[in-house]
Structure 1
């Protein structure tokens, strides 16, 4: 007996080459139990025509059409959708129990043919991405072509993407430093796979002065991109001495050697958590920023009259959370959903800014190329995203219902965590640059000689594993705006005198 299974009714958004290829792939797939119903198209010139008897309807009527034709699945087969519109379409479909799929980019089709197995459910990353501006930058090419570049933390989420993007500017050599051997080995295999050979691996710790100096001596890098850091907020609350040794000590060592060995540009990767820090991680990055800036100013003072001496341009870049980076919230939610839940969110109101890794790294390279030295560049991160909404949307995208199929649990803020990251780009504290997404932060700078002494007084006890309390207190003196939140270090903050809103 043949079982009559109701065919799924499919609409394809986009009646261009990709849409037509998608339709044909579906029709050739004997296992796909579908009925192709209609095309939906933005381009009004195509509306009213038909392809192989399937008519093309206007996207302005999308919501009506999907309901009228009882569509079960919508396949997005165009790259031209603005992300706001894509979000509206997906929201409508999720509310109306219509599954949404996307077609992978042409380069991943097999021998130029699309296989139906490659159609994917819309991913949350697709919805959070902003309009990508892919710039091939002439200035960067002039600066980097045939030069030697050192990337620290090269195997991490940000470091490895910086490496991928550097390759298009044809440097002579990229020195890849990381202290995590397996990710560094993975990066080596990835680079070899694409036929890249202009790199050297340097496995080791940016805190090790003899190791780091040997790298500068041996390779004489022109550019340093410093992405090595400890980044997990709750872990650094538990390990403040490590945060100081790596995030402050490692940065200081690399910056000092950059001057000694005549590096042209030193680009430090920082974070929005360095702004009014509430945790050890953010404060350690703020101290690293302060050191790099003061070092630049001090170098300018020393070489004022001597124009022949080449100077190192020190540039800092700050941005918020990157989508899908190792250990970030999206991969964690995915795992929790696959396991059947619950999805854990720390607080119903917590929000974060997000940016894709490629976009963040592109802006790092841009800012690094346009800086004159001493600046802290902040990136326009778009709109903040409510993490609870993110969790709900991810559950719906998996074809499940939040609260019914998958529970959301609130676990409470973790040590050092904020509800809202500080907005970096408020007008009083930033200056515009020629790039609309890159701003310059106005920050106070501290005179080098006193800062240098204070930082040494911080690194030394941290290296010797001395009192955590003393080290964190010293951090708070260096960064007065560092006020701990939900952390054992709250007791070190000076009590606030509250006189406002007294009752009676």
Structure 2
């Protein structure tokens, strides 16, 4: 009797739970205010998306259809839902008054995504995205993770492939120094390097808080302890000499720099102290302490510069490239900070490599985070000029190419990255507003503030006298640039730094224009120096 009673109770409990589940599903399906949803992608991720909704009683959605570009899937069904061809999108939206479309595939080309998003935005259909593949793979699935698509998802290109084995072979057991390690680019270089079997990774930055944050992140995400945080300013020659003497790095990735154009236009001396003197200090220490490779991270703003920041980075490029060319000869005589090299018993071995690319998505102070903040506050979204365009690349993408270029470099090259198509900033702003479910110039105003001091309408990756050669990587080219005599450059930079140390901004800019003949100021108080009376 006890056994029978136990079995009966168990069966009744199971029956009760099943009935409750189906009761809630029934109530859910009776709801007439359900959002009508299309799932774009009829693969495993699409099926997982549907079932995630099915098992969440709080979700008030109904799946109208799956869409897929794969004709082999069209006409079939998944969990009772028919798969239609992607060409049916507009017809489905009109017929069913669709509320949302969810991208549930990781293989949709960005161009195709943008086409679909444009159709959806024209028809007031919200666009959502499933979380990254590794989240799904770990089984951490919830409807809360299916969120509005980000503008970054529509600017990203297909993942760039790099020579992982080649980089691993090059960097294995090497001690590596990253300057500016707490910045947007420097910190991502650190994250990428942590994936390889390197020796000690030294993170150098002057910002205590930012350096502390990246250090804590590494502690939380890695079990290894092959990294060390070093607080120091690249302009401090004594401190940097101590850094190199203590840790003896094999490789240096030099990311420390001032980057904000309008701010540097108002502070030329400071731009030179960090971007030129700081680069010179690290480059000189690399030679003195036998660093094998020095990889400098530059910018497209160094090309035909119209502002102090871009010109300062071009001078830094010129210094490291001419230094490399001088070291590669058998007869070299150095003065100023490198005079000790003349007394070395062995020839310096350092190879200097420069990488040049445009804006990166999501970097501190960049346009996309600023637009997001302005939209959240209700506007207006400020664009400097209706015709302004920019190149964009994701930070991880740029840093992977930095590692690839650093490994392939033999010394003296300026590697230029394929940035894809330039983007009109006002169109970027409009799309971001629409992705937020709002209408440009109705819900959120777009205002034009005028070009900022030193700002260009468009950026360039090569100047008028430069061209490129291909490399084995389709996204990396070598710029053929003018070569400079190091002794002349060293002398001119010495004069430039003296003006910077005296905080004489006018003389600083005059000296910069002597060094970089193509530097022509725009929207700047320094325009008068290009056309003296």
Q: Pick from 467, 470, 475: which aligns with 2:507?
A: 470
Judge conservation of contact 1:77–1:102 (CA < 8 Å) in 2.
yes
Residue 370 (structure 2) pairs with residue 332 (structure 1): yes
Judge conservation of contact 2:468–2:477 (CA < 8 Å) in 1.
yes
Q: State the match for 1:286 in structure 2.
A: 314
Q: Pick from 19, 39, 42: which aligns with 1:12?
A: 39
Specify the SS of the correspondent of 1:187: helix
Distance in structure 2 (CA, Å) of the matches to 1:432 and 1:109: 38
Judge conservation of contact 1:109–1:115 (CA < 8 Å) in 2.
no
Distance in structure 1 (CA, Å) of the matches to 2:218 and 2:473: 30
Specify the SS of the correspondent of 2:328: helix
Q: Pick from 306, 310, 318: which aligns with 2:356?
A: 318
Q: Pick from 141, 145, 163: which aligns with 1:114?
A: 141
CA shift digits 1:262-282 (9 cap, x unpaired): 111000000000001000000
CA shift for structure 1 position 63:
2.7
Q: State the match for 1:81 in structure 2.
A: 108
Q: State the match for 1:147 in structure 2.
A: 174
Q: State the match for 1:499 in structure 2.
A: none
Distance in structure 1 (CA, Å) of the matches to 2:234 and 2:345: 31
Alpha-carbon RMSD across the aligned residues, in angstroms, is 2.0
Distance in structure 1 (CA, Å) of the matches to 2:52 and 2:227: 41
CA shift for structure 1 position 109:
4.4
Q: State the match for 2:243 in structure 1.
A: 215
Residue 288 (structure 2) pairs with residue 260 (structure 1): yes
CA shift for structure 1 position 495:
5.4
CA shift digits 1:162-200 (9 cap, x unpaired): 111111221111000011111111101110011241001
Q: How does 1:429-440 map to 2 (within 5 A)?
A: 429-440=467-478
Distance in structure 2 (CA, Å) of the matches to 1:235 and 1:14: 46
Q: Pick from 168, 192, 216: which aligns with 1:165?
A: 192
CA shift for structure 1 position 88:
0.2
TM-score, L = length of structure 1 = 0.94
Residue 66 (structure 2) pairs with residue 39 (structure 1): yes
Q: State the match for 1:300 in structure 2.
A: 328
Residue 523 (structure 2) pairs with residue 486 (structure 1): yes
Larger CA deviation: 160-169 vs 269-278: 160-169
Distance in structure 2 (CA, Å) of the matches to 1:4 and 1:82: 36
Distance in structure 1 (CA, Å) of the matches to 2:286 and 2:492: 21
CA shift for structure 1 position 108:
2.6
Q: State the match for 2:12 in structure 1.
A: none
**Higher Cα radius of gyration:** 2
CA distance change for structure 1 residues 303 and 362 in 2, over 3 Å: closer, same or farther? farther
CA shift digits 1:354-408 (9 cap, x unpaired): 0010111111111111111001111111111000000000000000000000000
CA shift digits 1:16-59 (9 cap, x unpaired): 11111110111222222111111112222222121221111112
Q: State the match for 1:442 in structure 2.
A: 480
CA shift for structure 1 position 311:
1.6
Specify the SS of the correspondent of 1:85: helix
Specify the SS of the correspondent of 1:68: helix
Judge conservation of contact 2:327–2:348 (CA < 8 Å) in 1.
no
Q: Pick from 83, 97, 101: which aligns with 1:56?
A: 83
Larger CA deviation: 411-420 vs 131-140: 131-140
Specify the SS of the correspondent of 2:329: helix
Q: State the match for 2:424 in structure 1.
A: 386
Unaligned runs of 5+ in 2: 1-27, 333-343
Specify the SS of the correspondent of 1:176: strand
Judge conservation of contact 2:388–2:457 (CA < 8 Å) in 1.
yes
CA shift for structure 1 position 136:
4.5
Distance in structure 2 (CA, Å) of the matches to 1:106 and 1:432: 33
Q: State the match for 1:231 in structure 2.
A: 259
Distance in structure 2 (CA, Å) of the matches to 1:427 and 1:459: 27
Q: How does 1:350-365 map to 2 (within 5 A)?
A: 350-365=388-403
Residue 409 (structure 2) pairs with residue 371 (structure 1): yes
Q: State the match for 2:11 in structure 1.
A: none
Specify the SS of the correspondent of 2:144: helix
Q: State the match for 2:436 in structure 1.
A: 398
Judge conservation of contact 1:378–1:425 (CA < 8 Å) in 2.
no
CA shift for structure 1 position 436:
1.1
CA shift for structure 1 position 150:
0.2
Residue 143 (structure 2) pairs with residue 105 (structure 1): no
Q: Pick from 115, 119, 127: which aligns with 1:92?
A: 119
Specify the SS of the correspondent of 1:267: strand
Larger CA deviation: 102-111 vs 66-75: 102-111
Distance in structure 2 (CA, Å) of the matches to 1:265 and 1:457: 27
Unaligned runs of 5+ in 1: 497-504
Specify the SS of the correspondent of 2:371: helix
Specify the SS of the correspondent of 1:302: coil
Distance in structure 2 (CA, Å) of the matches to 1:383 and 1:139: 29
CA distance change for structure 1 residues 307 and 176 in 2, over 3 Å: closer, same or farther? same
CA shift for structure 1 position 473:
0.4
Distance in structure 1 (CA, Å) of the matches to 2:433 and 2:101: 18
Distance in structure 2 (CA, Å) of the matches to 1:242 and 1:425: 25
CA shift for structure 1 position 427:
10
Judge conservation of contact 2:318–2:484 (CA < 8 Å) in 1.
yes
